[in-house]
Amino acid sequence: MPKMVFVETDGTRREVEAPLGLSILEVARRHDIDLEGACEGSLACSTCHVIVDPQWYDLLPDASEDEEDMLDLAFGLTKTSRLGCQIRITEELDGLVVRLPGGSQG
């Protein structure tokens, strides 16, 4: 089964199983990782904002215009920021590393 790594706000790295087809948000919830996702993945908020490790960013599908609009509202936005609800785990993403942004999110 593919795995992925969440880097928590304090720098703790948590490697977890990431079943194919699940979103990063769904994987986080399965493993009690503090990624909010207030809109339940309906692309109506930015509370599942994650910062993708630069070495993985180019392997992701491009963000949709709607995702880009929501990212504009995210706290601590970076050039490798994405919404966890919009990235689905594939074989190519086995080992994916994402960081949880610090501070509050909007």
For residue 91, count other CB atoms closer than 10 A to its CB. 7
- For residue 39, what are its two tokens? 């809109």
Spatial CB neighbours of 88, under 8 Å, sequence gap ≥ 6: 21, 22, 23
pLDDT tens for the chain, 106 residues: list them: 999 999 999 999 999 999 999 999 999 999 999 999 999 999 999 999 999 999 999 999 999 999 999 999 998 999 999 999 999 999 999 999 999 998 643 3
Say how far apart CA 76 and CA 41 lie, in whole Å. Answer: 20
Q: Edge-to-edge strand order for the sheet containing 49-52?
A: 13-17, 3-7, 96-99, 49-52, 81-83
Q: Hey, is 30 helix, strand or coil? A: helix
Task: Return the CATH fold of 3-99.
Answer: Ubiquitin-like (UB roll) (3.10.20)
